[in-house]
Structure 1
Amino acid sequence: MSELTRRSLLRGTFGIGTAAALAGLAGCGVPPAYVRAAERAAPDRSAADRRLLFANWPLYIDVDDHDKQRRPTLDAFRRRTGISVTYTEEINDNDEFFGKISPALMNHQPTGRDLVVISDWMCARYVRLGWVQEMDRTAQPHVARNLDPQLASPSFDPARRHSVPWQSGITGIAYNRRRLGREIRSVSDLWHDDLRGRVSLFSGIDEAFALLLQGEGVDITRWRPDDFHRMADRLRRLVARGHIRRFTGNDYIKDLDSGDVLAAQAYSGDVIQLKADNPDIAFVVPEEGGELWAESMMIPNLAAHKRNAERLIDHYYRPDVAADLAAWVNYVCPVPAAREVLAASKDKERAALAEDPLIFPDAALRQRLATARDITAAERPALTGEWNAIVGL
């Protein structure tokens, strides 16, 4: 197994400086950097210039087994449409990429990109600021038909007019069943004495807070700041008595594999890959629930090839294409119809993916999944400051 997976690259730690900057932008009423809908579009060159530039995270797309520079699902799009794609793996951190393209967006200038993939908690800021364009869903029949209903209406973009999930995933708990010698069923199971000094949690507030709130019995779709403060109080006590070994980014994969930690807050897709090498590792969605998240495609303001980008998004919502992508990246597929494509495969390993609930959650699991409401611009400076003081950022 490659120890470096796409999701584990994500740091996502939304620093106080950037949070304060965004809060300043929000101000009262219409933020100074807000772009009105009428000012978001540029003349579309798609018909005459059959190409687009697609910015994504590393290790987040299928590659050819014999030529790592080739990406079969993109090649299929070019053959189907005649549109070529310049694909860049330039997004390594939500905060960093925001800083990279925000000067252009703030100043009503093109970013040079037609399509970007951003974590939904950060997508919310782009949508609020009016920095991304509304899509023409009539040009995206596969999206309209095949988008997972559980991902179809996030609070920041209720009709998904500005964003479409690229991949999804679950934040839950990974643990070494053999070394721990018991099952973990609840977030509270992490706080038992036999795990003192052997637990890790995510360091980024946006990656960590929802699951911890769920452990407190909070409905994360409508949590309140008081809920956050109560959770933070518990976490402070756990840190003070040395129960949390450390707060991590992708390091939790190494720590679990080596046995330095026995239980960790974890992403479903990472654990699928980790279990392939270490069958003692288990992943659980706690009884209280787990967070269902997505990373979504958006078209920045003044993109020169909007129609081409819309067609590429729709391409990835064809069940056969979604199946190819899911088989490679192993995250929750936002196209449930892809399950039938994989199930019909003559390749046993590929067909087995159709039965993996961490790629295609069943009805029972879905009942325990929820998507957290976003931390608002007004809440973020105080909550991020409180969080960072706890985790030592």
Structure 2
Amino acid sequence: MNKPLPEDPMMRELIQMARRHQMTRRTALAGASATAAALALTACAPAGSAKAELTPAADLSDSEKLLVWHNWSLYMDEDDAGNYPSLQKFEAETGIKVEYKIEIDDNDTYYGKVKDQLALGQDIGADVACPTEWMAARWVNNGYVQKFDSANIPNKKNLAPAYLGAAFDPERDYTIPYQGILAGITYNKVEYKKATGKDAPTSLEDLWDPALKGRVGVLSEMRDTIGLILLAQGIDISSESSLTEDAFMNAIDFFAAKVSDGQIARIKGNSYSEDLENGDTIAAIAWSGDTVQLNLSAEEEKYGFFIPESGVTISADLFTVPMGATHKKNVEELINFYYDPANAAMLAAWVNYVTPVVGAKEEAMKLDPALAENQLIFPTSEFLQNAHGFRSLTGAEELAFTKAFQEVLLGA
């Protein structure tokens, strides 16, 4: 039996919408330990470093109607039987069979698994993968991905203008956004109040309450965890003059101290959600859409999502086709499908992340007005004033910043 709807209007709307669309629990992929991210350290080559030019694999799409997709957990609509309705619709419309595999727990651990094949232009076992923008930029700069044929993606015209103009891919010839991501704070409402006496966090500093010692989790995504810490310290993470190496290292020192004294007990990728579910963590730096899925799993509004006044990080996960992929045209049909506003709305109704597709909000209004008005999915420009993208790093900065972050993870 459904439990009473929550007090939080934003979360109430999402849960109510989810119930109407009969969304149910999905199991998150158990992620690798944060220390496994060290596998990627040796591969942090500066962007634009000299590489032998790779040749795209022959495209077999005309004769082989299939593709393999590597993605994150909690990132595709799913029914009670474990099927993916939007993918089933795509398969029915195109005749292309999709093998959807939850392979990405965080960017570094995934890159550690596929970097050798990428560097050689070999098949990584996927025709399409969705790394986060900063990792996708590395792939583009290193020549690891194939160029899209825009003629095969007519719905690319629906890409929201805010997602154009990336320095590494200004016309989105090599990468196309799948979903936008907000990182803030997810917390167990009952346990948080029991531990702290407060109903909800009011700032990032509330995670450092001694009452939460050993029950705080953070993401193994450097730009989200350190990004939120930097924002709380008054640093503009989108500005080169504000986000200096000194500012970053000061935030790393702060982070390392919280790990060392046991305040932060867990540093994970997508599998952080399991620690919230089993009670190992009470509050965590987390991704917005996952909070809704956690509440659906619990069949009540057990978790809240908090946006600190100091700001949240915003980024995007991007469709990419590795050089060794043999079904690029099939992938282009897949992207075109999800850039149809009706299909984008169908997906947004489940994953609850920021959709990059113009027209999806109007289609979502037909499904459920609450869905269309939710700021976590269709944020207004005013809402986004508090969301900040982590600035692009030079090759030297990428090496130095990643090394400093990973050293904390290895010592955790």
Judged with a 3 Å threshold, the aligned counterparts in structure 2 of structure 1 residues 126 and 109 are, in CA distance, closer, same or farther, namely: same
Matches within 5 A, 1:100-139: 100-111=113-124, 113-139=126-152
Equivalent position to 1:220, from 217, 234, 237:
237
- The residue type equivalent to 1:284 in the other structure is F
1:169 aligns with 2:169: no
With the length of structure 1 as denominator, give the TM-score of the two structures: 0.82
Judged with a 3 Å threshold, the aligned counterparts in structure 2 of structure 1 residues 175 and 107 are, in CA distance, closer, same or farther, namely: closer
SS of structure 2 residue aligned to 1:363: coil
Matches within 5 A, 1:319-338: 319-338=341-360
- The residue type equivalent to 1:138 in the other structure is A
Aligned match of 1:271: 291
Q: Distance in 2 between matches of 1:192 and 1:158?
A: 43
Task: State the shift of 1:138 in Å.
Answer: 3.2
Structure 2, unmatched stretches of 5+, are 1-23
Structure 1, unmatched stretches of 5+, are none
Deviates further, 105-114 or 164-173: 105-114
Q: Distance in 1 between matches of 2:147 and 2:339?
A: 18
1:244 aligns with 2:261: no
Identical residues among aligned pairs (%): 37
Aligned match of 1:344: 366
Judged with a 3 Å threshold, the aligned counterparts in structure 2 of structure 1 residues 9 and 327 are, in CA distance, closer, same or farther, namely: farther
SS of structure 2 residue aligned to 1:160: coil
Runs of 4+ displaced beyond 6 Å: 10-14
- The residue type equivalent to 2:28 in the other structure is T
Equivalent position to 2:163, from 151, 169, 175:
151
| 8 Å Cα contact 1:3/1:254 also seen in 2 | no
Aligned match of 1:83: 96
| 8 Å Cα contact 1:123/1:296 also seen in 2 | yes
Q: Distance in 2 between matches of 1:310 and 1:12?
A: 33
Count matched residues.
378
Equivalent position to 1:63, from 65, 78, 81:
78
Aligned match of 2:373: 355
| 8 Å Cα contact 1:169/1:332 also seen in 2 | yes
Task: State the shift of 1:310 in Å.
Answer: 1.2
Q: Distance in 1 between matches of 2:66 and 2:260?
A: 55
- The residue type equivalent to 1:45 in the other structure is L
SS of structure 2 residue aligned to 1:217: coil
| 8 Å Cα contact 2:71/2:104 also seen in 1 | yes
Aligned match of 2:16: none
| 8 Å Cα contact 2:288/2:353 also seen in 1 | yes
Judged with a 3 Å threshold, the aligned counterparts in structure 2 of structure 1 residues 45 and 242 are, in CA distance, closer, same or farther, namely: closer
Task: State the shift of 1:254 in Å.
Answer: 5.2
Task: State the shift of 1:245 in Å.
Answer: 4.5
Could you list the per-position Cα deviations for residues 83-106 of structure 1 after superposition, in whole angstroms to 9, with x for gaps in the alignment?
333433444453444344333332
Judged with a 3 Å threshold, the aligned counterparts in structure 2 of structure 1 residues 87 and 236 are, in CA distance, closer, same or farther, namely: closer
1:40 aligns with 2:60: no
Q: Distance in 1 between matches of 2:247 and 2:112?
A: 30
Judged with a 3 Å threshold, the aligned counterparts in structure 2 of structure 1 residues 382 and 102 are, in CA distance, closer, same or farther, namely: closer
- The residue type equivalent to 1:230 in the other structure is N
Q: Distance in 2 between matches of 1:310 and 1:250?
A: 26
Q: Distance in 2 between matches of 1:249 and 1:266?
A: 9
Q: Distance in 2 between matches of 1:111 and 1:154?
A: 25
Judged with a 3 Å threshold, the aligned counterparts in structure 2 of structure 1 residues 254 and 5 are, in CA distance, closer, same or farther, namely: closer
Judged with a 3 Å threshold, the aligned counterparts in structure 2 of structure 1 residues 136 and 10 are, in CA distance, closer, same or farther, namely: farther
Judged with a 3 Å threshold, the aligned counterparts in structure 2 of structure 1 residues 13 and 214 are, in CA distance, closer, same or farther, namely: farther
Aligned match of 2:387: 369
| 8 Å Cα contact 1:40/1:131 also seen in 2 | no
Q: Distance in 2 between matches of 1:193 and 1:354?
A: 39
Could you list the per-position Cα deviations for residues 271-299 of structure 1 after superposition, in whole angstroms to 9, with x for gaps in the alignment?
11234435353212211211112221111
Q: Distance in 1 between matches of 2:92 and 2:277?
A: 42
SS of structure 2 residue aligned to 1:286: coil
Judged with a 3 Å threshold, the aligned counterparts in structure 2 of structure 1 residues 151 and 35 are, in CA distance, closer, same or farther, namely: farther
What RMSD in Å do the two structures reach over aligned CA positions?
Answer: 3.2
Task: State the shift of 1:125 in Å.
Answer: 1.8
Task: State the shift of 1:307 in Å.
Answer: 2.0
Aligned match of 1:52: 67
| 8 Å Cα contact 2:106/2:269 also seen in 1 | no
Could you list the per-position Cα deviations for residues 191-219 of structure 1 after superposition, in whole angstroms to 9, with x for gaps in the alignment?
45565555332344344121111112222
Could you list the per-position Cα deviations for residues 349-388 of structure 1 after superposition, in whole angstroms to 9, with x for gaps in the alignment?
x543223222222332211112212454423443334324
| 8 Å Cα contact 2:31/2:105 also seen in 1 | yes
SS of structure 1 residue aligned to 2:185: strand
Q: Distance in 1 between matches of 2:279 and 2:58?
A: 56
